[in-house]
Amino acid sequence: IRARLLEAEVVLVVSNRKAAFGLERAQKAGIPTLYFPLKPYRDADRSRAEYDADLAQKVREYKPDYIVLAGWMHIFSNNFVKHFPYRIVNLHPALPGQFPGKDSIAEAFAAYQRGEIKKTGIMIHLAPDERVDVGPVLATVDVPIYPSDTLEMLQNRIHQAEHRLLIQTLDRLIRGDE
Active site (catalytic) residues: 92
Pairing of strands 119-126, 88-92: antiparallel
Under a CB-based contact definition with an 8 Å cutoff, are residues 126 and 80 in contact? no
44-to-16, 38, 136 alpha-carbon distances in Å:
17, 10, 36
Taking only Cα atoms into account, the Rg of the chain, rounded to an integer number of angstroms, comes to 17
Q: List residues bridging with 142 in a β-sheet.
A: 121
Q: List residues bridging with 122 in a β-sheet.
A: 141
> In degrees to the nearest 10, what's the CA dihedral of 132, 14, 20, 90?
30
